Amino acid sequence: MRGGTTLVTGGAGFVGSHLVDALLERGENVLALDDLSTGRLANLTGATANPRFRFVPGSVLDELLVDELVHQCDTVVHLAAAVGVKLVVEQPLKSLNTNIRGSQVVIEAAHRHRRKILVASTSEIYGKNASGPLSETADRILGSPAIMRTSLRGRRSSARFRCRRGARPCVHATPTTVHWQGGRCGEW
């Protein structure tokens, strides 16, 4: 939808900032919401000069802010999440709250305002499934719930469920490890 407005949560992150650039190139208006806990304003240097771009500092946990931004857009791309093994291990409750409650806030706002939404998660949702390539119908083979990374897979699964039961139309994307310039840049 060229010329529409897209809200990108996690817009200052590695993937989010590249999506922002691509949407602006297509002629979209873009709102980027990010609390800058893992994203960086430096990732948005090119976008900030564009009059069709607006950066909004804030959290997906801020229900009033998310509701206001979703109301202003046509489409939502939900990328915001606590990412990185170190962060998740050192701050497990905060990470779970951001990932689970944050997704709920965004999905409910999209549903309330009848906005299209894409919810992204990670291929880790499939756990220890060694078959490949993975598909949306692949079995999840989870490890011990004592391991935080295994527990976070539930967030991704519950977000997918809420997405299917709430906002319409809704797309759930499951990207794998992000690569950049031929080298592994980081997991997402």
Q: How far is CA 34 from CA 12, 22, 128, in A?
A: 6, 18, 31
Q: How far is CA 138 from CA 41, 70, 84, 131, 152, in A?
A: 37, 32, 24, 8, 18
Residue 150's pLDDT is what? 44
**pLDDT beneath 50: ranges in the chain:** 1, 148-153, 155, 167, 176-177, 179-188
Q: Tell me, which fold does domain 5-186 have in CATH?
A: Rossmann fold (3.40.50)
Residue 85's pLDDT is what? 77
Residue 47's pLDDT is what? 97
Would you say the pTM of this structure is higher than 0.85? no
What's the CA dihedral at 67, 26, 44, 7 to 10 degrees? 10
Burial class (CB in 10 A: 0-12, 13-18, 19+), 98: buried
pLDDT tens-digit map of 88-137: 888 889 988 998 999 999 999 999 999 999 988 765 555 666 666 666 67
